[in-house]
Copies of this chain bind each other. A is one copy, B any other.
Protein backbone atom coordinates (compact mmCIF):
# COMPACT_ATOMS: atom_id res chain seq x y z
CA UNK A 1 0.00 0.00 0.00
CA UNK A 2 1.21 3.46 -0.87
CA UNK A 3 1.16 6.03 1.90
CA UNK A 4 -0.23 8.57 -0.56
CA UNK A 5 -3.30 6.34 -1.07
CA UNK A 6 -3.69 4.83 2.41
CA UNK A 7 -6.82 6.08 4.09
CA UNK A 8 -5.35 6.75 7.53
CA UNK A 9 -6.20 10.37 8.35
CA UNK A 10 -3.88 11.03 11.27
CA UNK A 11 -4.61 13.85 13.70
CA UNK A 12 -2.07 16.09 15.41
CA UNK A 13 -4.10 16.83 18.55
CA UNK A 14 -5.50 14.52 21.17
CA UNK A 15 -9.28 14.58 20.83
CA UNK A 16 -10.94 16.06 23.88
CA UNK A 17 -13.35 13.24 24.66
CA UNK A 18 -10.74 10.48 24.64
CA UNK A 19 -9.83 9.51 28.20
CA UNK A 20 -7.72 6.38 27.78
CA UNK A 21 -4.57 5.99 25.75
CA UNK A 22 -5.93 3.37 23.30
CA UNK A 23 -8.84 5.63 22.45
CA UNK A 24 -6.56 8.64 21.98
CA UNK A 25 -4.06 6.77 19.83
CA UNK A 26 -6.64 5.07 17.61
CA UNK A 27 -8.23 8.45 16.89
CA UNK A 28 -4.85 10.11 16.31
CA UNK A 29 -3.57 7.30 14.08
CA UNK A 30 -6.68 7.52 11.87
CA UNK A 31 -7.86 4.06 12.90
CA UNK A 32 -11.32 4.76 14.23
CA UNK A 33 -13.93 7.48 14.12
CA UNK A 34 -16.98 7.95 16.35
CA UNK A 35 -20.40 7.78 14.71
CA UNK A 36 -22.42 8.00 17.94
CA UNK A 37 -21.55 7.46 21.62
CA UNK A 38 -20.11 3.93 21.85
CA UNK A 39 -20.51 3.39 18.10
CA UNK A 40 -17.41 3.53 15.91
CA UNK A 41 -16.31 3.11 12.32
CA UNK A 42 -13.14 1.07 11.92
CA UNK A 43 -10.96 2.71 9.27
CA UNK A 44 -8.64 0.54 7.12
CA UNK A 45 -5.73 0.27 9.60
CA UNK A 46 -7.97 -0.82 12.47
CA UNK A 47 -9.89 -3.17 10.24
CA UNK A 48 -6.68 -4.90 9.14
CA UNK A 49 -5.70 -5.47 12.77
CA UNK A 50 -9.19 -6.67 13.64
CA UNK A 51 -9.16 -9.12 10.72
CA UNK A 52 -5.89 -10.53 12.03
CA UNK A 53 -7.30 -10.96 15.54
CA UNK A 54 -10.40 -12.60 14.02
CA UNK A 55 -8.22 -14.94 11.98
CA UNK A 56 -6.25 -15.94 15.09
CA UNK A 57 -9.54 -16.64 16.88
CA UNK A 58 -10.75 -18.67 13.89
CA UNK A 59 -7.62 -20.79 13.75
CA UNK A 60 -7.68 -21.56 17.46
CA UNK A 61 -11.39 -22.35 17.42
CA UNK A 62 -10.97 -24.61 14.39
CA UNK A 63 -8.06 -26.35 16.13
CA UNK A 64 -10.46 -27.38 18.89
CA UNK A 65 -13.05 -28.62 16.36
CA UNK A 66 -15.16 -25.49 16.47
CA UNK A 67 -17.28 -24.93 13.35
CA UNK A 68 -17.95 -21.40 12.24
CA UNK A 69 -21.46 -20.24 11.44
CA UNK A 70 -23.26 -16.90 11.52
CA UNK A 71 -26.37 -16.08 13.48
CA UNK A 72 -28.60 -13.07 13.00
CA UNK A 73 -28.31 -9.72 14.74
CA UNK A 74 -32.04 -9.11 14.98
CA UNK A 75 -33.58 -11.68 17.29
CA UNK A 76 -37.26 -12.29 18.00
CA UNK A 77 -38.49 -11.48 21.52
CA UNK A 78 -40.25 -14.85 21.81
CA UNK A 79 -36.99 -16.74 22.32
CA UNK A 80 -35.83 -14.31 24.99
CA UNK A 81 -39.16 -14.65 26.74
CA UNK A 82 -38.73 -18.42 26.81
CA UNK A 83 -35.54 -18.03 28.87
CA UNK A 84 -36.93 -15.13 30.89
CA UNK A 85 -34.12 -12.84 29.79
CA UNK A 86 -36.38 -10.45 27.87
CA UNK A 87 -37.16 -8.87 31.25
CA UNK A 88 -33.84 -9.47 33.00
CA UNK A 89 -31.74 -7.64 30.43
CA UNK A 90 -33.43 -4.31 31.05
CA UNK A 91 -32.26 -1.11 29.43
CA UNK A 92 -29.00 -2.62 28.29
CA UNK A 93 -30.83 -4.41 25.50
CA UNK A 94 -31.56 -2.51 22.29
CA UNK A 95 -35.17 -3.28 21.43
CA UNK A 96 -37.15 -2.56 18.30
CA UNK A 97 -40.38 -3.40 16.55
CA UNK A 98 -40.73 -4.42 12.93
CA UNK A 99 -43.40 -3.01 10.59
CA UNK A 100 -45.87 -5.57 11.93
CA UNK A 101 -45.18 -4.39 15.52
CA UNK A 102 -43.44 -7.62 16.44
CA UNK A 103 -40.77 -7.26 19.15
CA UNK A 104 -37.12 -7.87 18.39
CA UNK A 105 -33.84 -7.10 20.06
CA UNK A 106 -30.33 -6.58 18.71
CA UNK A 107 -28.37 -9.56 19.97
CA UNK A 108 -26.38 -8.69 23.10
CA UNK A 109 -25.37 -12.39 23.09
CA UNK A 110 -26.59 -15.49 21.25
CA UNK A 111 -27.44 -18.23 23.76
CA UNK A 112 -31.12 -18.12 22.85
CA UNK A 113 -30.54 -18.35 19.09
CA UNK A 114 -27.91 -21.08 19.16
CA UNK A 115 -29.93 -23.18 21.59
CA UNK A 116 -33.03 -22.84 19.44
CA UNK A 117 -31.01 -23.90 16.37
CA UNK A 118 -29.61 -26.93 18.10
CA UNK A 119 -32.90 -28.03 19.66
CA UNK A 120 -34.41 -28.27 16.18
CA UNK A 121 -31.57 -30.25 14.63
CA UNK A 122 -29.99 -32.35 17.36
CA UNK A 123 -31.88 -35.39 18.59
CA UNK A 124 -29.29 -38.01 19.38
CA UNK A 125 -26.19 -38.47 21.52
CA UNK A 126 -24.43 -39.47 18.30
CA UNK A 127 -24.62 -35.82 17.18
CA UNK A 128 -22.73 -34.68 20.29
CA UNK A 129 -20.40 -33.06 21.14
CA UNK A 130 -20.61 -30.14 18.75
CA UNK A 131 -18.89 -26.75 19.00
CA UNK A 132 -20.28 -23.85 17.02
CA UNK A 133 -18.94 -20.33 16.89
CA UNK A 134 -19.30 -17.03 15.12
CA UNK A 135 -17.50 -13.70 14.95
CA UNK A 136 -20.28 -11.19 15.04
CA UNK A 137 -21.36 -7.72 16.09
CA UNK A 138 -22.94 -7.51 19.50
CA UNK A 139 -25.08 -4.70 20.85
CA UNK A 140 -25.40 -3.45 24.41
CA UNK A 141 -26.94 -0.12 25.25
CA UNK A 142 -24.41 0.77 27.96
CA UNK A 143 -25.59 3.44 30.36
CA UNK A 144 -22.24 5.18 29.92
CA UNK A 145 -20.33 4.07 26.84
CA UNK A 146 -16.71 5.12 27.28
CA UNK A 147 -13.04 4.50 26.81
CA UNK A 148 -13.38 4.16 23.04
CA UNK A 149 -13.59 0.52 22.06
CA UNK A 150 -13.36 -0.67 25.67
CA UNK A 151 -17.00 -0.15 26.47
CA UNK A 152 -18.86 0.34 23.23
CA UNK A 153 -22.49 -0.16 22.35
CA UNK A 154 -21.75 -1.98 19.08
CA UNK A 155 -18.69 -4.21 19.26
CA UNK A 156 -17.20 -7.36 17.75
CA UNK A 157 -17.18 -10.62 19.63
CA UNK A 158 -16.14 -14.17 18.91
CA UNK A 159 -18.58 -16.45 20.68
CA UNK A 160 -18.42 -20.22 20.75
CA UNK A 161 -21.02 -22.54 22.23
CA UNK A 162 -20.29 -26.14 23.21
CA UNK A 163 -22.94 -28.86 23.38
CA UNK A 164 -22.20 -32.04 25.29
CA UNK A 165 -23.91 -35.14 26.58
CA UNK A 166 -22.65 -34.73 30.10
CA UNK A 167 -20.59 -32.86 32.63
CA UNK A 168 -17.39 -34.70 31.65
CA UNK A 169 -17.77 -33.63 28.05
CA UNK A 170 -18.37 -30.02 29.11
CA UNK A 171 -15.31 -30.19 31.32
CA UNK A 172 -13.13 -31.29 28.39
CA UNK A 173 -14.41 -28.55 26.12
CA UNK A 174 -14.22 -25.93 28.87
CA UNK A 175 -10.53 -26.61 29.43
CA UNK A 176 -9.90 -26.96 25.69
CA UNK A 177 -11.31 -23.49 25.29
CA UNK A 178 -9.23 -22.27 28.22
CA UNK A 179 -6.21 -23.55 26.35
CA UNK A 180 -7.37 -21.99 23.04
CA UNK A 181 -7.94 -18.65 24.75
CA UNK A 182 -4.45 -18.67 26.23
CA UNK A 183 -3.11 -19.31 22.72
CA UNK A 184 -5.21 -16.51 21.23
CA UNK A 185 -4.03 -13.89 23.71
CA UNK A 186 -0.44 -15.09 23.51
CA UNK A 187 -0.52 -14.91 19.71
CA UNK A 188 -1.96 -11.40 19.98
CA UNK A 189 1.11 -10.47 22.02
CA UNK A 190 -0.82 -9.67 25.20
CA UNK A 191 0.29 -10.05 28.78
CA UNK A 192 -2.87 -11.49 30.33
CA UNK A 193 -4.07 -13.49 33.31
CA UNK A 194 -6.98 -15.96 33.66
CA UNK A 195 -8.97 -15.17 36.80
CA UNK A 196 -11.97 -16.73 38.49
CA UNK A 197 -15.08 -14.81 37.62
CA UNK A 198 -18.70 -14.33 38.41
CA UNK A 199 -20.96 -15.59 35.63
CA UNK A 200 -23.34 -12.62 35.84
CA UNK A 201 -26.34 -12.34 33.52
CA UNK A 202 -25.11 -15.23 31.37
CA UNK A 203 -25.57 -17.67 34.24
CA UNK A 204 -24.18 -21.13 34.79
CA UNK A 205 -21.83 -22.69 37.30
CA UNK A 206 -18.19 -21.85 36.55
CA UNK A 207 -16.47 -19.01 34.82
CA UNK A 208 -13.01 -17.69 34.09
CA UNK A 209 -12.14 -14.26 32.75
CA UNK A 210 -9.03 -13.47 30.74
CA UNK A 211 -7.68 -10.17 31.97
CA UNK A 212 -5.15 -7.93 30.36
CA UNK A 213 -3.42 -6.17 33.23
CA UNK A 214 -3.56 -2.42 32.63
CA UNK A 215 -4.05 0.66 34.81
CA UNK A 216 -6.97 1.75 32.64
CA UNK A 217 -8.81 -1.53 33.20
CA UNK A 218 -12.35 -1.28 34.49
CA UNK A 219 -12.13 -4.55 36.40
CA UNK A 220 -10.39 -5.07 39.73
CA UNK A 221 -8.49 -8.30 40.28
CA UNK A 222 -7.22 -9.86 43.46
CA UNK A 223 -4.27 -12.19 43.13
CA UNK A 224 -2.23 -14.10 45.65
CA UNK A 225 1.28 -12.88 46.26
CA UNK A 226 2.33 -16.44 46.92
CA UNK A 227 0.28 -19.06 45.02
CA UNK A 228 -1.31 -18.67 41.55
CA UNK A 229 -4.81 -17.82 42.75
CA UNK A 230 -6.39 -14.88 40.92
CA UNK A 231 -9.98 -13.72 40.73
CA UNK A 232 -12.15 -10.82 39.79
CA UNK A 233 -12.86 -9.02 43.07
CA UNK A 234 -16.55 -9.47 42.25
CA UNK A 235 -15.99 -13.15 42.59
CA UNK A 236 -13.00 -13.64 44.98
CA UNK A 237 -14.05 -15.92 47.83
CA UNK A 238 -13.26 -15.15 51.43
CA UNK A 239 -13.21 -17.46 54.39
CA UNK A 240 -14.64 -16.31 57.73
CA UNK A 241 -12.13 -14.44 59.86
CA UNK A 242 -11.86 -15.56 63.44
CA UNK A 243 -11.53 -13.40 66.58
CA UNK A 244 -10.24 -14.02 70.09
CA UNK A 245 -12.84 -15.53 72.36
CA UNK A 246 -14.27 -13.41 75.18
CA UNK A 247 -16.94 -13.82 77.83
CA UNK A 248 -20.29 -12.75 76.39
CA UNK A 249 -21.66 -9.60 78.01
CA UNK A 250 -25.25 -8.45 78.44
CA UNK A 251 -26.85 -6.73 75.40
CA UNK A 252 -27.36 -3.05 76.09
CA UNK A 253 -28.80 -0.08 74.22
CA UNK A 254 -26.86 3.16 74.52
CA UNK A 255 -27.48 6.70 73.33
CA UNK A 256 -25.25 7.90 70.53
CA UNK A 257 -26.52 11.43 69.86
CA UNK A 258 -25.84 12.65 66.31
CA UNK A 259 -23.56 9.71 65.49
CA UNK A 260 -24.68 8.48 62.12
CA UNK A 261 -21.57 7.13 60.49
CA UNK A 262 -19.54 4.12 61.57
CA UNK A 263 -16.60 6.43 62.33
CA UNK A 264 -18.67 8.82 64.46
CA UNK A 265 -20.18 5.99 66.50
CA UNK A 266 -16.80 4.29 66.90
CA UNK A 267 -15.20 7.46 68.13
CA UNK A 268 -18.09 8.29 70.46
CA UNK A 269 -18.20 4.82 72.03
CA UNK A 270 -14.44 4.33 71.87
CA UNK A 271 -14.09 1.24 69.70
CA UNK A 272 -12.44 0.44 66.38
CA UNK A 273 -14.64 0.00 63.29
CA UNK A 274 -13.55 -3.65 62.99
CA UNK A 275 -15.21 -4.26 66.36
CA UNK A 276 -18.69 -3.22 65.11
CA UNK A 277 -21.24 -4.61 62.69
CA UNK A 278 -22.02 -2.48 59.63
CA UNK A 279 -25.59 -2.91 58.39
CA UNK A 280 -26.66 -1.86 54.90
CA UNK A 281 -30.30 -1.79 53.84
CA UNK A 282 -31.25 -2.74 50.27
CA UNK A 283 -34.45 -3.04 48.35
CA UNK A 284 -34.77 -6.03 46.00
CA UNK A 285 -37.47 -7.80 44.02
CA UNK A 286 -37.62 -10.18 47.01
CA UNK A 287 -38.32 -7.36 49.48
CA UNK A 288 -36.06 -5.39 51.83
CA UNK A 289 -32.68 -6.89 52.72
CA UNK A 290 -30.23 -6.12 55.54
CA UNK A 291 -26.62 -6.98 54.71
CA UNK A 292 -24.21 -7.28 57.63
CA UNK A 293 -20.43 -7.06 57.39
CA UNK A 294 -17.70 -6.19 59.84
CA UNK A 295 -17.31 -2.42 60.29
CA UNK A 296 -14.11 -2.16 58.25
CA UNK A 297 -15.37 -4.42 55.47
CA UNK A 298 -17.38 -3.65 52.33
CA UNK A 299 -20.39 -5.51 50.98
CA UNK A 300 -19.79 -7.27 47.62
CA UNK A 301 -23.11 -6.59 45.95
CA UNK A 302 -22.52 -9.21 43.23
CA UNK A 303 -22.13 -11.92 45.88
CA UNK A 304 -25.16 -10.55 47.72
CA UNK A 305 -27.24 -10.57 44.53
CA UNK A 306 -26.14 -14.11 43.69
CA UNK A 307 -26.93 -15.24 47.24
CA UNK A 308 -30.42 -13.78 47.05
CA UNK A 309 -30.90 -14.83 43.40
CA UNK A 310 -32.68 -11.52 42.85
CA UNK A 311 -33.27 -9.53 39.66
CA UNK A 312 -32.49 -6.11 41.09
CA UNK A 313 -30.77 -4.73 44.16
CA UNK A 314 -30.60 -1.04 45.10
CA UNK A 315 -29.93 0.86 48.32
CA UNK A 316 -33.13 1.27 50.33
CA UNK A 317 -34.40 4.82 50.73
CA UNK A 318 -35.59 6.41 54.00
CA UNK A 319 -39.22 5.45 53.40
CA UNK A 320 -38.34 1.77 52.98
CA UNK A 321 -36.06 1.92 56.04
CA UNK A 322 -38.75 3.52 58.21
CA UNK A 323 -41.97 1.95 56.90
CA UNK A 324 -40.92 -1.54 55.84
CA UNK A 325 -37.86 -2.32 57.89
CA UNK A 326 -39.08 -0.35 60.91
CA UNK A 327 -35.75 1.36 61.51
CA UNK A 328 -34.13 4.75 61.14
CA UNK A 329 -31.58 5.76 58.47
CA UNK A 330 -28.11 5.89 60.02
CA UNK A 331 -29.12 3.63 62.91
CA UNK A 332 -29.97 0.37 61.19
CA UNK A 333 -29.14 -2.91 62.88
CA UNK A 334 -30.30 -6.52 62.68
CA UNK A 335 -32.02 -6.65 66.09
CA UNK A 336 -35.83 -6.39 66.18
CA UNK A 337 -36.50 -5.26 62.64
CA UNK A 338 -40.07 -5.39 61.32
CA UNK A 339 -39.37 -6.93 57.94
CA UNK A 340 -36.39 -7.93 55.81
CA UNK A 341 -34.10 -10.77 54.84
CA UNK A 342 -31.00 -10.54 57.06
CA UNK A 343 -27.85 -11.68 55.26
CA UNK A 344 -24.77 -11.84 57.46
CA UNK A 345 -21.24 -12.21 56.20
CA UNK A 346 -19.82 -15.29 57.90
CA UNK A 347 -17.11 -13.26 59.63
CA UNK A 348 -19.86 -11.35 61.47
CA UNK A 349 -20.97 -14.57 63.15
CA UNK A 350 -17.56 -14.91 64.79
CA UNK A 351 -17.70 -11.47 66.40
CA UNK A 352 -18.32 -11.15 70.18
CA UNK A 353 -19.58 -8.26 72.29
CA UNK A 354 -19.86 -6.17 69.14
CA UNK A 355 -21.88 -3.05 68.32
CA UNK A 356 -24.69 -2.36 65.85
CA UNK A 357 -27.40 0.20 65.09
CA UNK A 358 -30.34 0.43 67.50
CA UNK A 359 -33.07 0.94 64.87
CA UNK A 360 -34.08 4.25 66.39
CA UNK A 361 -32.61 7.71 66.23
CA UNK A 362 -29.44 8.30 68.27
CA UNK A 363 -29.35 4.71 69.57
CA UNK A 364 -26.91 1.81 69.17
CA UNK A 365 -26.70 -1.61 70.76
CA UNK A 366 -23.46 -2.65 72.45
CA UNK A 367 -22.35 -6.10 73.61
CA UNK A 368 -24.17 -7.57 70.65
CA UNK A 369 -23.56 -11.27 70.15
CA UNK A 370 -24.76 -12.67 66.81
CA UNK A 371 -26.85 -15.82 67.01
CA UNK A 372 -27.68 -15.01 70.64
CA UNK A 373 -29.13 -11.54 69.92
CA UNK A 374 -30.31 -12.00 66.34
CA UNK A 375 -30.65 -14.89 63.87
CA UNK A 376 -29.70 -13.99 60.29
CA UNK A 377 -31.81 -15.48 57.50
CA UNK A 378 -28.65 -16.35 55.56
CA UNK A 379 -25.03 -16.66 56.68
CA UNK A 380 -22.49 -16.68 53.87
CA UNK A 381 -19.58 -14.87 52.21
CA UNK A 382 -20.82 -11.46 51.04
CA UNK A 383 -17.79 -9.31 51.49
CA UNK A 384 -15.53 -7.59 48.99
CA UNK A 385 -11.92 -8.70 49.01
CA UNK A 386 -9.25 -6.05 49.61
CA UNK A 387 -5.49 -5.74 49.43
CA UNK A 388 -3.92 -7.80 52.21
CA UNK A 389 -6.85 -10.19 52.74
CA UNK A 390 -5.83 -13.82 53.06
CA UNK A 391 -5.78 -15.82 49.82
CA UNK A 392 -8.71 -18.26 49.88
CA UNK A 393 -6.39 -20.99 48.65
CA UNK A 394 -3.15 -20.61 50.63
CA UNK A 395 -3.85 -17.91 53.21
CA UNK A 396 -1.04 -15.59 52.17
CA UNK A 397 -1.99 -11.95 51.56
CA UNK A 398 -3.52 -10.97 48.23
CA UNK A 399 -2.63 -7.94 46.13
CA UNK A 400 -4.97 -6.16 43.75
CA UNK A 401 -4.60 -4.86 40.20
CA UNK A 402 -6.69 -3.37 37.40
CA UNK A 403 -7.53 -5.45 34.36
CA UNK A 404 -9.29 -5.30 31.00
CA UNK A 405 -11.50 -8.30 30.44
CA UNK A 406 -10.81 -9.57 26.90
CA UNK A 407 -12.36 -13.02 27.18
CA UNK A 408 -14.59 -15.09 29.38
CA UNK A 409 -15.58 -18.74 29.45
CA UNK A 410 -18.68 -20.13 31.15
CA UNK A 411 -19.99 -23.51 32.15
CA UNK A 412 -23.63 -22.88 31.36
CA UNK A 413 -24.59 -26.46 32.21
CA UNK A 414 -28.30 -26.90 31.38
CA UNK A 415 -29.53 -23.37 32.13
CA UNK A 416 -30.52 -22.67 28.52
CA UNK A 417 -31.16 -26.20 27.29
CA UNK A 418 -33.70 -26.66 30.08
CA UNK A 419 -35.54 -23.39 29.56
CA UNK A 420 -35.57 -23.83 25.76
CA UNK A 421 -36.10 -27.58 25.88
CA UNK A 422 -33.01 -28.57 23.91
CA UNK A 423 -32.79 -32.27 24.62
CA UNK A 424 -31.17 -35.37 23.18
CA UNK A 425 -31.73 -39.09 23.58
CA UNK A 426 -28.78 -40.79 25.25
CA UNK A 427 -27.32 -44.29 24.64
CA UNK A 428 -29.97 -45.85 26.84
CA UNK A 429 -32.91 -44.12 25.18
CA UNK A 430 -33.39 -41.54 27.94
CA UNK A 431 -34.15 -37.92 27.02
CA UNK A 432 -31.78 -35.43 28.66
CA UNK A 433 -31.05 -31.71 28.40
CA UNK A 434 -27.90 -30.88 26.44
CA UNK A 435 -25.00 -29.68 28.62
CA UNK A 436 -23.71 -26.34 27.39
CA UNK A 437 -20.75 -24.04 27.69
CA UNK A 438 -20.15 -20.61 26.15
CA UNK A 439 -16.93 -18.81 25.42
CA UNK A 440 -16.41 -15.21 24.31
CA UNK A 441 -13.53 -13.08 23.08
CA UNK A 442 -13.99 -9.34 22.84
CA UNK A 443 -12.34 -8.86 19.46
CA UNK A 444 -12.51 -5.07 19.21
CA UNK A 445 -11.66 -4.78 22.91
CA UNK A 446 -8.62 -7.02 22.41
CA UNK A 447 -7.28 -4.53 19.87
CA UNK A 448 -7.76 -1.68 22.36
CA UNK A 449 -6.22 -3.71 25.19
CA UNK A 450 -3.18 -4.43 23.06
CA UNK A 451 -2.66 -0.71 22.60
CA UNK A 452 -3.11 -0.07 26.33
CA UNK A 453 -0.21 -2.47 26.92
CA UNK A 454 1.90 -1.50 23.92
CA UNK A 455 2.48 2.22 23.48
CA UNK A 456 4.83 5.03 24.30
CA UNK A 457 4.72 8.83 24.07
CA UNK A 458 5.08 8.64 20.27
CA UNK A 459 2.25 6.21 19.58
CA UNK A 460 1.30 2.59 19.19
CA UNK A 461 3.77 -0.32 19.31
CA UNK A 462 2.08 -3.22 17.53
CA UNK A 463 3.04 -6.81 18.18
CA UNK A 464 3.94 -8.08 14.69
CA UNK A 465 1.13 -10.67 14.65
CA UNK A 466 -1.61 -8.06 14.74
CA UNK A 467 0.09 -5.02 13.23
CA UNK A 468 -1.94 -3.56 10.36
CA UNK A 469 1.26 -3.58 8.28
CA UNK A 470 4.68 -4.95 9.16
CA UNK A 471 7.02 -2.48 7.56
CA UNK A 472 6.97 1.13 6.43
CA UNK A 473 9.54 2.18 3.84
CA UNK A 474 10.41 5.88 4.09
CA UNK A 475 12.43 7.70 1.46
CA UNK A 476 13.74 10.75 3.32
CA UNK A 477 13.62 13.07 0.36
CA UNK A 478 10.79 12.24 -2.02
CA UNK A 479 12.33 14.52 -4.64
CA UNK A 480 15.55 12.49 -4.82
CA UNK A 481 15.12 10.06 -7.70
CA UNK A 482 17.66 7.57 -6.35
CA UNK A 483 15.93 7.40 -3.00
CA UNK A 484 12.46 6.96 -4.46
CA UNK A 485 13.70 4.41 -6.98
CA UNK A 486 15.28 2.25 -4.27
CA UNK A 487 12.19 2.72 -2.09
CA UNK A 488 9.93 1.56 -4.92
CA UNK A 489 12.10 -1.45 -5.60
CA UNK A 490 12.22 -2.39 -1.92
CA UNK A 491 8.47 -1.93 -1.61
CA UNK A 492 7.75 -4.23 -4.51
CA UNK A 493 10.24 -6.87 -3.34
CA UNK A 494 8.89 -6.87 0.22
CA UNK A 495 5.31 -7.06 -1.00
CA UNK A 496 6.21 -9.93 -3.32
CA UNK A 497 7.87 -11.71 -0.38
CA UNK A 498 4.61 -11.52 1.57
CA UNK A 499 5.73 -8.74 3.92
CA UNK A 500 2.85 -6.30 4.41
CA UNK A 501 4.49 -3.02 3.54
CA UNK A 502 3.53 0.63 3.28
CA UNK A 503 5.65 2.82 1.01
CA UNK A 504 5.41 6.32 2.41
CA UNK A 505 5.53 8.09 -0.95
CA UNK A 506 3.74 11.17 0.31
CA UNK A 507 5.21 14.50 -0.59
CA UNK A 508 5.87 15.36 3.05
CA UNK A 509 8.88 16.27 5.15
CA UNK A 510 10.81 13.33 6.62
CA UNK A 511 9.84 14.50 10.10
CA UNK A 512 6.14 14.16 9.33
CA UNK A 513 6.68 10.67 7.90
CA UNK A 514 8.69 9.55 10.93
CA UNK A 515 6.07 10.94 13.32
CA UNK A 516 3.27 9.11 11.51
CA UNK A 517 5.31 5.89 11.36
CA UNK A 518 5.78 5.99 15.14
CA UNK A 519 2.15 6.95 15.74
CA UNK A 520 0.74 4.15 13.56
CA UNK A 521 3.27 1.81 15.14
CA UNK A 522 4.66 -0.23 12.24
CA UNK A 523 6.97 -2.82 13.86
CA UNK A 524 9.81 -1.90 11.46
CA UNK A 525 10.67 1.33 9.73
CA UNK A 526 13.13 1.17 6.83
CA UNK A 527 14.62 4.57 6.01
CA UNK A 528 16.35 5.45 2.77
CA UNK A 529 18.37 8.65 2.98
CA UNK A 530 21.33 10.27 1.27
CA UNK A 531 23.80 8.88 3.76
CA UNK A 532 22.48 5.31 3.72
CA UNK A 533 22.51 5.34 -0.06
CA UNK A 534 26.13 6.40 -0.17
CA UNK A 535 27.10 3.61 2.18
CA UNK A 536 24.83 1.14 0.39
CA UNK A 537 22.93 0.25 3.56
CA UNK A 538 19.37 0.68 4.81
CA UNK A 539 18.49 2.06 8.19
CA UNK A 540 16.01 -0.26 9.90
CA UNK A 541 14.46 0.90 13.14
CA UNK A 542 12.64 -1.46 15.51
CA UNK A 543 9.64 0.42 16.84
CA UNK A 544 9.45 -1.41 20.14
CA UNK A 545 13.03 -0.96 21.28
CA UNK A 546 14.06 2.02 19.20
CA UNK A 547 17.09 0.00 18.16
CA UNK A 548 18.50 0.91 14.74
CA UNK A 549 20.21 -1.69 12.57
CA UNK A 550 21.98 -1.02 9.31
CA UNK A 551 21.22 -3.64 6.68
CA UNK A 552 23.20 -4.44 3.54
CA UNK A 553 20.87 -3.82 0.61
CA UNK A 554 21.93 -7.16 -0.83
CA UNK A 555 19.82 -9.80 0.93
CA UNK A 556 17.90 -7.25 3.01
CA UNK A 557 14.52 -8.83 2.28
CA UNK A 558 15.51 -11.99 4.13
CA UNK A 559 17.05 -9.96 6.94
CA UNK A 560 13.83 -8.00 7.34
CA UNK A 561 11.76 -11.20 7.32
CA UNK A 562 14.06 -12.58 9.99
CA UNK A 563 13.66 -9.50 12.14
CA UNK A 564 9.88 -9.73 11.88
CA UNK A 565 9.95 -13.39 12.88
CA UNK A 566 11.92 -12.35 16.00
CA UNK A 567 9.21 -9.85 16.90
Contacts and interface: CB of A to CB of B under 8 A. Distances in A.
B47 A69 contact: yes
A6 interface: yes
A139 B94 CA distance: 15
A559 interface: no
A365 to B, nearest CB: 43
A17 interface: no
Contacts of A36: 72, 74-76, 102, 104
Interface stretch (A38-46, A174-182, A337-345, A521-529): A38-46
A73 interface: yes
A50 B120 CA distance: 23
Contact of A130 (B7, B30, B39, B121): B7
A486 interface: no
Given A39-B72, A47-B69, A99-B141, A132 B7 contact: yes
Give the number of times this chain occurs in the complex, counting copies: 2
A9 interface: yes
Given A35-B71, A137-B73, A5 B65 contact: yes
A77 to B, nearest CB: 10
A6 to B, nearest CB: 7
A490 interface: no
A33 interface: yes
A247 to B, nearest CB: 57
Nearest to A76: B36
Given A99-B143, A121-B30, A94 B69 contact: no
Contacts of A317: none
Contacts of A1: 67
B130 A5 contact: yes
Interface string A468-490: 00000000000000000000000
Interface string A30-72: 1001011001111110111011000000000000010111111
Interface string A95-111: 11011001010100000
Contacts of A75: 35-36
A529 B88 CA distance: 57
A43 B72 contact: no
A117 interface: yes
A29 to B, nearest CB: 12
Given A35-B72, A36-B75, 18 more contacts: A1-B67, A5-B130, A6-B67, A7-B132, A33-B121, A35-B75, A35-B76, A41-B69, A41-B71, A41-B113, A44-B67, A44-B132, A73-B106, A73-B137, A74-B139, A74-B154, A94-B96, A95-B96
List 3 A-B pairs, minimum CB-CB distance, nearest first: A9-B121, A96-B96, A44-B67
